[in-house]
Structure 1
């Protein structure tokens, strides 16, 4: 069913393009080339313009209805709402549940508790450096 609607949409698009190109524009349009073919001779110029305008509106409305219908048919065939590729991958990929946090343990002697500020002390092994004497002038 979806394929049939898509084929109809393509057919309506083709007919709409032909009707729009055949309309008489300010510059003459393609309808002046087809005038010798018979439509203007058969119905007159005014009635030909009215017919082409009505066909344009009809094909445009048919195109909108078919596009909305294709969405409904595709939605029914898939069994649920349509999702983008990113949404589908996000639904397929499940984040593992986070394990329960372990109970806090008492810190080892001499260790600081997590999050506690550590005092800034100079390392004991580093020798104190004295500034180099400046040359006397």
Structure 2
């Protein structure tokens, strides 16, 4: 399950990188090839969003959700194999005994 979630995160990340590189901030690029960038009208109604922009938001939200699901899957299914090295070291450490209290100094006259 964990491997599947990590694989999906990596796949969506690569696709998101490709989509971002395809976009041109001035409205050109591949998204500009399919019509003008701003007020494209389709069948008399103004188009609400560009397909590339919608895919970018979709992949971003999917990555966010998958990361949160992976975090909860790891925290709920903690086993000995997935424990931190620091947790293992802390479990094997012993606390040194407290030193004996000092004897009071003899009183001098």
TM range (shorter): 0.5 to 0.7
1:62 aligns with 2:47: no
Change (3 A) 1:56 1:27: closer
In structure 1, what is the Cα distance between the partners aligned to 2:60 and 2:52? 12
- Could you list the runs of 5+ residues in structure 1 that have no partner in the other structure? 105-112, 120-137
Q: Alpha carbon RMSD of aligned pairs, Å?
A: 3.6
Structure with greater contact order relative to length (CA < 8 Å, sep ≥ 6)? 2
Q: Compare CA radii of gyration and give the structure with the larger one.
A: 1
Query: Could you tell me which residue of structure 2 aligns to residue 109 of structure 1?
Result: none
In structure 1, what is the Cα distance between the partners aligned to 2:107 and 2:26? 82
| TM-score between both structures, scaled by the size of structure 2 | 0.64
Give the drift of 1:15: 0.9
Give the drift of 1:26: 2.4
SS of the residue corresponding to residue 60 of structure 1 reads helix
Which structure 1 residue ranges, 4+ long, deviate > 4 Å from structure 2? Answer: 99-102, 116-119
Q: Equivalences for 1:72-87 in 2 at 5 Å?
A: 72-79=72-79, 84-87=84-87
- Could you list the runs of 5+ residues in structure 2 that have no partner in the other structure? 41-46
